[in-house]
Structure 1
Amino acid sequence: MDSRSLPVAATAALIFFSVIALSAGTAIVEHTFVVTQVTMTHLCKDTLVTVVNGQLPGPAIEVTEGDSIAVHVVNKSPFNLTIHWHGVRQLLNCWADGVPMITQRPILPDHNFTYRFDASGQEGTLWWHAHVPCLRATIHGILIIRPRHGAISYPFPKPHKEIPIIIGEWWDLEDLGQVDRHLRHYVADDYFKASTINAKLGDLYNCSGVVEEAYKLDLEPGKTYLLRVLNAALFSEYYLKIAGHKFIVVAGDANYVSPYTTDTIAIAPGQTFDALVVADASPGRYYMVAMPNQPPKPDYQSPVLPTRGVLQYSNGAGGNQPGDVPMSPEMPDNHNHMLSFYFHGNLTSLHHPRHLPVPKRIDERLFITLGLGSVCRQGQSCERGAESDEVIVVATMNNISYELPTVSRPLLEAHYQNPSNIDWLQELPDVPPRVFNFTDNSLIPTGPKEEQLEPTSKAALARRFRYGAVVDVVFQSTSMLQSESNPMHLHGHDMFVLAQGSGNYDMERDVAKYNLVNPPLVNTVLVPRLGWVAVRFIADNPGVWYMHCHFEFHQSMGMIALFIVEDGPTANTSLPSPPVDFLTYGDDNNLMPDEYYL
């Protein structure tokens, strides 16, 4: 597709999707995403919002396993952007992963680009979002892959309906890139104004006495509903509850799990969960509440901004009357991080034809600490401490903060042409440079002990893996200047979650806890607050892949590394050449690195 802009008439005609059937029973599903700015009004303020096809959330992509997908992105916004297909394996297709200046040049304003990828070997709920700083707050949507066996073949009772539940945030900023720019300089001036369910703020919010609209779901008594729950927020993990009902969690990150009954779903940014809800309560109206959690003091305390929608029974005698006050669930304390710890720890994989055995051989081991540090604004020496004007606070992996490389072409392109072209990337070390009590609460506030440990460095951080290597990674959250959890997302791969724990990881003690029988398989793993998680993955997808925290503040501050998987010995195990319509701008190298991203 020509990288220049489309005529206006053609752009209008392309706001559609189509399905082209193929002889083998699969199909090519096409969508056109026109990215524009529209005015939305909430909380008595008009805000210019960047969205796809004029809607928030953006259009759902619904396919059957084995289908091919083509998405034509027409950028009519003022921002450079790319789209990432979150959780899609992109096997031998790193070119379509959608990370600016890693896998492609960004799509400039008044330009267009087509993404092509397959929905093969995966079933369940994934999503798509802009992969430029903070724009994913409004440029996102759900991606549903249904089983191919028969009309509908789930390993659980067929639901009456499938309902997307997309948790997000409402920002009243017209330039969300401002949030990223502030975060990169540790200026904490920006915060969202409300939480949302399917872009509705809900009746906890009002302006001049006018209550905001809430998301509403009508239920038929006795029916079973499949909720496809997605956390598209930038800043918070959420607790989700429905008064008078329970969830049966059946999948996470497009991988089936053993059915797990709970009254609360804990979902971090980037994660998806599929959960059955049976409409078996007394006829009436019930609140569904999504509440962000956060670490307790001495961490910074952000405003608690929950949202709620309404589930209401139809055909229920004595229920569903307009004046009825819905029943509210009893919500947990927003500082109760152990609720999240136990929710994630109770998940196991379901025995299923797509269930993969856990590889027993281990080729490489990494121990990666996650936390904050600081770099001097000028020179090598400066006064430390988060309150110092001489430092910039950064987020780190093994005490190194990712820095945007100064490049004139995407790293994947350079790697494909000659792997030695990117030998200058700094290697992510196997272990952190210093060993200390990583979860010492006294390190959260600025003080003499913390100031000795916070100096760090910035670099374009990467780690190379030979094709087929089995890699064990232990992510250790730390208390350096904060005690947040960390939702770590690996592009192009799924990870077996072998174990998690509180406090500091101890290999001699904790390896015995590893679940090598039925661990959950995820693309985004939540590293618990002041704790650790052990994962294992197979480096079987050649390319340059992003590994990063899905909290936007941690990503903007540098909690990123590149995982580079080398080619295998055959054409079928090697990165293919770029697509013929791969996005290029000739010899246009006049953009500064930040401009590629913003």
Structure 2
Amino acid sequence: MIVFYFTIVAISVSLLLPSAEAAVKKYQFDVVVKNVSRLCHAKPIVTVNGRYPGPTVYAREGDRVIINVTNHAQYNMSIHWHGVKQLRNGWADGPAYITQCPIQSGNSYSYDFNITGQRGTLWWHAHILWLRATVHGALVIMPPLGVPYPFPWWNADVESIENQGNTLGLPPNMSDAHTINGKPGPLFPCSQDKHTYALEVEWGKTYLLRIVNAALNDELFFAIAGHNMTVVEIDAVYCKPFTTDALLIAPGQTTNVIVRANRAPGRYFMATRPFMDAPVPVDNKTATAILQYKGVPTTILPLLPRLPTPNDTDFAGAYLDKLRSLNTPQFPANVPLTVDRRLFYTIGLGMNPCASCVNGTRLTASLNNITFVMPTIGLLQAHYFGIKGVFRLDFPDKPVTAFNYTGAPLTANLGTSKGTRLSKVAFNSTVELVLQDTNLLTVESHPFHLHGYNFFVVGRGIGNFDPAKDPAKFNLVDPPERNTVGVPTGGWTAIRFRADNPGVWFMHCHLELHTTWGLKMAFVVDNGDGPEQSVLPPPKDLPLC
């Protein structure tokens, strides 16, 4: 079997090279600005080592990974190692103003962490402003010895796009194209061969494609014309294999699939486009790459796959129903069967007054009617050193006001407030969290990412969560284990996890637009007993604000 890595919206593909024994893996990341041309338009973008997408980090389970990041760009920078279990070491997690102050221009910071209990595909990205549009790459974790991904492209500068939206109090302009491995493909204007990614395969061989959705604001379908895919891993956790002709992957999620090159030798499009089953504008454009059999002339026109329709809720639900943990003696699904703490968070979009906005109002987002305010000092630093006045530990376990969450649209914000409010969780306690979409302005799907933890997706449904009836239908045997989960449009998702990783851990919607509007919060997990259950001291080169 041959292994490749893809990044969809950018799908990135690279041949997986064998690594030596478990060891210390060191990488140098230089954050630099580079001119890049797409769609007949050139602009400077922020990159790592001048590459878009950035370099792939390879490691084996058990390795220690050290990445020194030197920031040569004009923007402050922080890097998040998405899905890596930063046990007792939140200082290496990366989100700006949560676990660290950002790396200022001209400075460096070393991220140092161990790969523990994870195999498969994770990824890394900038975790400040919207810079992850171009600053991202894959993290491939291989088993110990012996045993494609999407992102958008704007012709304008992404920071200008974000600032424009904040000034108007409205959503910013949609992207001009999706890309696969940084290239939009021939369905877009000015996309010659050099702007189309091509993957050459040999007939009869089997390939492993590592797919990461690095899109800023879109859930995506992905398919390969004429070829089925066998899903074998999600978010660096093995799952029960199943075969499908298309994938659904939310921003932040990863999926490994096996593809057999057993079709008539030719050229086949790999394609991705958004999934959106809510009345919300979406950049409904199809990015393509080419799967090309060896020896086939490039003059042959590729075949297009049949992607699900952009609002195909039935396909989305059926696909998610197939995702199951392996739950074998070697790879057990350790689902918490008892719950110490039950949380219920409502997801809301609303309008707030804005004196500086052109329209006098600004779109906001909230959890339990609280719009998160980013601090000016790292939350983990404030927690570790006991710095007062940075945050409050009073994030509510449920919304103050109950209402018909998915009923007729509501124009009121139900007392939405702003604040840096965190939720305190006892060490080693078991947590059940229900994330409920609401219809304050409109219903919409939301992919949520929890830093520092994997969790089990034990249930989901459409409409309002019923605490009396819905838990009886939870899957507590082999639910999928993830670090990012989609909350369905006008529905709910229930997750469970054990809080055995002390520190301050960010949770946020992985639609960058919604995160900007305040759809985020953080947990403070207490230390346990002794140094092995406590947060490590901060590194000497921790960036200053």
**TM-score normalised by L of structure 1:** 0.84
Aligned ranges 1:477-488 → 2 under 5 Å: 477-488=437-448
Distance 2:217 2:176 in 1: 12
Q: Which position in structure 2 is the counterpart of 1:34?
A: 30
Measured in 1, the distance between the counterparts of 2:383 and 2:301 equals 60
Q: Choose which of 121, 124, 128 in structure 2 pairs with 1:128.
A: 124
Q: Is the radius of gyration larger for structure 1 or structure 2?
A: 1
Shift of 1:145: 0.5
Question: Does residue 395 in structure 1 map to residue 365 in structure 2?
Answer: yes
Letter in 1 for 2:342: R
Q: 1:388 to 1:55 in 2, by over 3 A?
A: closer
* Residue 539 (structure 1) aligned with residue 503 (structure 2): no
Q: Which of 426, 430, 436 pairs up with 1:476? A: 436
Number of the residue aligned with 2:334: 357
In 2, are the aligned partners of 1:337 and 1:529 still within 8 Å (CA)? Answer: no
Shift of 1:351: 2.8
1:493 is aligned to 453
Q: Which amino acid aligns with 1:279?
A: A
1:557 corresponds to: 517
Matched, 1:414 2:390: no
The alpha-carbon deviation at position 175 of structure 1 amounts to: 4.9
Q: How many Å apart are 1:177 and its aligned residue?
A: 5.7
CA pair 227-566 structure 1, distance change in 2 beyond 3 A: same
The answer on 1:248 being equivalent to 2:215 is no
Question: 1:54 Cα shift?
Answer: 0.6
Q: What's the counterpart of residue 325 of structure 1?
A: 301
Task: Confirm whether residue 190 of structure 1 aligns to residue 173 of structure 2.
Answer: yes
Partner-residue secondary structure (3-state), 1:452: coil
Aligned partners of 2:133 and 2:158 also within 8 Å: no
Partner of 2:7: none
What does the per-residue CA deviation read over 1:281-324, in whole Å, with 9 as the maximum and x for residues that have no partner?
Answer: 1111111110112234xx23233111111111125xxxx23322
RMSD between aligned alpha carbons?
2.1
Q: 1:312 aligns with which of 292, 299, 302?
A: 292
Normalised to the residue count of structure 2, the TM-score between the two structures is 0.92
Report the 3-state secondary structure (helix = DSSP H, G, I; strand = E; otherwise coil) of the residue aligned with 2:506. strand
Q: Conserved in 1, the CA contact under 8 Å of 2:86 and 2:92?
A: yes
CA offsets, 1:523-554, max 9 Å, x none? 00111111111100111111111000000011
| C-alpha displacement of 1:426 | 5.3
Task: Tell me if structure 2 keeps the 8 A contact 1:133–1:177.
Answer: no
Is the Cα–Cα contact under 8 Å of residues 180 and 553 in structure 1 kept in the other structure? no
Unaligned runs of 5+ in 1: 1-18, 154-164, 380-386, 444-449, 585-595
Does the aligned pair in 2 maintain the 1:258–1:347 contact within 8 Å?
yes
Q: Does 1:425 align with 2:408?
A: no
Relative to structure 1, is the Cα distance of residues 378 and 583 closer, same or farther in structure 2, using a 3 angstrom cutoff? closer
Unaligned ranges ≥5, structure 2: 1-17
Q: Do the aligned partners of 1:363 and 1:471 also contact (CA within 8 Å) in 2? A: yes
CA distance in 1, matches of 2:136, 2:121: 14
- CA gap of 1:415–1:63, structure 2 versus 1, over 3 A, is same
Asked if the contact 1:180/1:556 (under 8 Å) is kept, the reply is no
Residue deviations 1:533-585, cap 9 Å, x none? 1100111111111000000011000000011101112211011211233233x
Question: Cα distance, 1:427 vs. partner?
Answer: 2.1
| Structure 1 residues 333 and 70: alpha-carbon distance in aligned structure 2, compared to 1, 3 A threshold | same
Alignment CA distance shift 1:82-1:504 (3 Å) = same
SS in 1 for 2:384: helix
Residue of 104, 107, 111 corresponding to 2:107: 111
Please state if 1:368 is matched with 2:341: no
Q: Deviations over 1:386-429 (max 9, x none)?
A: x9933322111111111123x4x3221121123x7368425221
d(CA) in 1 for partners of 2:415, 2:354: 12
Determine whether 1:51 maps to 2:47.
yes
Query: Could you report, residue by residue, the CA deviation over 1:62-114 in whole angstroms, capped at 9, with x for unpaired residues?
Result: 11110011111111100001000000000011011111122111111111111
Distance 1:338 1:137 in 2: 30
Give aligned-pair identity as a percent. 39
Partner Cα distance (1:262, 1:20) in 2: 31
Question: Are 2:60 and 1:84 aligned?
Answer: no
**SS of corresponding position for 2:412:** helix
Structure 2 equivalent of residue 166 of structure 1: 149
- Secondary structure (helix, strand or coil) at the match of 1:413 reads helix
Contact 2:170 2:362 in 1 (8 A): no
Contact conserved, 2:411 with 2:440, CA < 8 A, in 1?
A: no
For 2:111 and 2:160, the matched residues in 1 are separated by 24
Counterpart residue identity of residue 402, structure 1: F
Q: Alpha-carbon deviation of 1:149? A: 4.1
Q: Partner of 1:509 in structure 2?
A: 469
Aligned to 1:345: 321
For the residue of structure 1 that corresponds to 2:422, the secondary structure is: strand
Cα pair 2:391 2:422 within 8 Å, conserved: no
CA distance in 2, matches of 1:144, 1:251: 12
Could you list the structure 1 runs, at least 4 aligned residues long, displaced by more than 6 angstroms after superposition: none
